[in-house]
Amino acid sequence: MNKLGKDYWSSIFNLRFIGYILLILSFIDVVNIFIPFQFTNAVWEFQMIGALVEHAPLPLIGSILVFLEK
């Protein structure tokens, strides 16, 4: 394998690693959103849904980086 091929696979590995980090951080963020369980409070429920929608791009970007191939 030439130098260009090694650089390519090295960069793909780095992107996957970054993708896994983003997925782990987004999981921690979702757990942090659910921590104060107040399911009977309507204001908290609306804020929770808003926060989940606001943080939705992070796991999507992480998934794209993890499943990126040739």
Are the C-beta atoms of residues 68 and 16 closer than 8 Å to each other? yes
Find, among 60, 53, 68, the residue nearest to 23 by Cα.
60
Task: Determine the distance from the C-alpha atom of residue 17 to the mean position of all C-alpha atoms in its chain, rounded to a whole number.
Answer: 12
Residue 23: CA atoms inside 13 Å, Cβ hemisphere, count?
A: 13
Work out the mean pLDDT of the chain and round it to a whole number. Answer: 86
Q: Per-residue pLDDT for 19 more than 90?
A: yes
pTM of the model: 0.77
The confidence score (pLDDT) of residue 52 equals 94
Q: Residues 44-56: what's their mean pLDDT?
A: 94
- For the chain, the residue count is 70
How do the domains of the chain map onto residue ranges? 3-66
Separation of alpha carbons 65 and 12, rounded Å: 9
pLDDT of residue 39: 87
pLDDT recorded at residue 11: 75
